Amino acid sequence: MRTIALVVAAIAAVWGAITDAFDAGSGAVATEAADRGVQYDPAADCDLATIESLSTQHPDVDQFVVMATASWTATVGTVEVAARGPGGTWLCQRPAMTAMYGRSGTRPLLDRRSGDGTTPAGVFPLGEVTAWDGEVFSMFGNSPDPGVLVPYRDVRPEDCWGATKNTARYQHLVNRYRCPGPDDEWLAGITESYSHAAVIGANLDPISGDEPGEIPYAAAIFLHRYSYSSNGVAKPTSGCVSLGYDDLVATLRLIDPALNPHFAIGPTDYLRREGL
């Protein structure tokens, strides 16, 4: 009997190691932890040259979600995640994942206008939003919190993201059931694409286009799940960045508020230039 017990214990230990190495929710390989607590994937390969360039211009940022394309007109690109590890060394947390961008490509935030079909380019923080009911959040979804490190809002039937230019609700989450505004987004009605999403902090208050005379650069810019055409092909977005479900969940779980995470969006040569 003692021998059987020892065998059972050994099997349990092996199974524990396997479950630690794999994320049952997404099938993603679990990452190793650097000395400072940063989770990284030793097998991942990411664009460290671009990340180092971004780091010199944004030294207070310890985590980048790099959203890169090959050109301003490209509608398909990649998303990678890297964080600063021990001694300031940058570590790859997620390798290049195929991502969809705006149907009209990307454009620097100050050159675009709400509704032009481009994804705003630039370096933006993780957004923080106060909802109509007072809840503060940075991620949201029509599906339960997948285990993220930031405040997560379960979408309510009343949740309407204002995207109608120069209205008081522009770039605010307001209480408008079914969201009757012409450009506004009823989050509860976008069930699959907004199963989970992160708010990209492009054009949030204090100057967001919600007052007369303010330029409405962008509204409702998120990292979310792919939307698909009728033949099952991932589609470009209206201005967001989208990933496949498993890649999305793995990315959202890595975004760590303790690392001052920022999204760097645009063509690779643009992300590497000085003064970004």
What are the residue boundaries of the structural domains of the chain, listed by start? Answer: 1-30, 40-140+198-205+213-271
Residue 9 has pLDDT above 60, yes or no: no
What length does the chain have?
276
Distance CA 158, CA 240 (A): 22
pLDDT in the model for residue 77: 98
User: How many CB atoms within 10 Å of residue 122?
Assistant: 21
pTM of the model: 0.87
Q: Could you tell me if 76 and 99 are in contact, meaning their C-beta atoms sit under 8 angstroms apart? A: yes
Quote the pLDDT of residue 39: 84
The predicted structure's pLDDT at residue 33: 56
Span 161-195, pLDDT tens digits: 999 988 999 999 999 999 987 899 999 999 999 99
Question: What is the predicted pLDDT for the residue at 211?
Answer: 87
* Residues forming beta bridges with residue 107, ordered by sequence position: 120
Q: Which 3 state secondary structure label does DSSP give 6? A: helix
Q: Are 203 and 209 in contact (CB under 8 A)?
A: yes
The pLDDT of residue 90 is: 96
Tokens of 198: 């992160």
Q: Which amino acid is at 31?
A: T
Residues in a beta bridge with 243: 99, 225
Element holding 3 (H helix, E strand): helix 2-21
pLDDT at 31: 54
